[in-house]
Structure 1
Amino acid sequence: MTSWFRTYYEDEDLWLCFEADDEGWAVRQVEVRGADSKPVTAACLEEVLHLRDHADLAAMDWYERQYGVLAEGSLDGWQEQPHAAGIPAAEFERLWAEARRTLGASR
C-alpha cells in the first residue's frame, strides 16, 4: 500500500516528503528548505530507473543536478524521525507539482 509522509532534518532545516511503495521504498521524494520553503529535490524512482537502463552517466548526472538524489533503501522507521507525520496524498501531489515546476525552471 502506498504511503505518504514527511520528516524534518533540523540540522539542515529541511523537510523531506516521501511517497513510499508497499515495501517501504521511496517512489518519489520532495525536499523543501524550511527557511524559505524552496524545493531542493523532486526525484522519482521510475525516472531514475529509466535513466539507469536507457541512458548514460551524463544523463544521470544531469538529472541529479536538476532534481536531486532519490533516497535509497527502505524507509522503515521513518515514524521515529523528528516531526514525522503521515500526509494526505493530495498534499504530496501539491508539493510534488510545485517542486517539479520550480526545479525544472530554475536550474
Structure 2
Amino acid sequence: MLSYVRWYWPEQDRWNYDELDTDRWSLRHVELHGDGRAIAAASLAEVLAVHDSGGAGAVVRYERRYGVVPDAPFPPPDADVEPVLETLTAIEFEQLWRQARRQLDQAASR
C-alpha cells in the first residue's frame, strides 16, 4: 500500500512531498519552494527506464529537468532530526505532481 506525506525544511524554505512504498522508499518526489515554485517532480520508475534506455547521460538530463528521487528509505538514516510528516491523499499528491511537472516542463521549453 502506498502512502503520501509532506514535510517542510525551514532552512531551505522547501516543501517536500513523497509517494512512499511499504518500505518507505520514495516512488515519486515533489519539491516546492515556499512560494510554490516547483524544484523537482521526479519518478523512480522514470529514472530507471531512462537509465535502461539511455544510460547515465540520459539520467543526468532527466535529473536536470525533473530533479532527483531520494535514494534511501524515508527518513534518511543519517538525518539529524526526523521531519514532522503530514499525510496527504493520493488525489492531493496527484494534483501537486501534475502541477509541478507542468511548471518544470514549461521552464524547460523556454
Q: Fold match, TM over 0.5?
A: yes
Q: Distance in 1 between matches of 2:75 and 2:64?
A: 27
Is 1:45 the counterpart of 2:47? The answer is: no
Spell out structure 1 runs of 4+ moving beyond 4 A.
Answer: none
Q: Kindly provide the amino acid, as one letter, of the partner of residue 41 in structure 1.
A: A
Q: Kindly provide the amino acid, as one letter, of the partner of residue 5 in structure 1.
A: V
Among residues 60, 71, 83, which one is paired with 1:81 in the alignment?
83
> 3-state SS of the aligned residue for 1:22?
coil
Q: Distance in 2 between matches of 1:63 and 1:23?
A: 25
Deviation at residue 38 of structure 1 after TM alignment: 0.4
Q: Distance in 1 between matches of 2:51 and 2:57?
A: 11
Name the TM-score, length of structure 1 as normaliser.
0.90
Partner of 1:91: 92
Q: Distance in 1 between matches of 2:70 and 2:37?
A: 19
Partner of 1:56: 55
Between the two proteins, what is the percent identity of the paired residues?
38
Structure 2: unaligned runs, 5 residues or longer: 77-81
Name the TM-score, length of structure 2 as normaliser.
0.88
Q: Kindly provide the amino acid, as one letter, of the partner of residue 11 in structure 2.
A: D
Q: Distance in 1 between matches of 2:8 and 2:37?
A: 14
Q: Distance in 2 between matches of 1:37 and 1:86?
A: 18
* Alignment: residue pair count: 104
Higher mean Cα deviation, 52-61 or 1-10? Answer: 52-61
Structure 1: unaligned runs, 5 residues or longer: none
Q: Kindly provide the amino acid, as one letter, of the partner of residue 25 in structure 1.
A: W
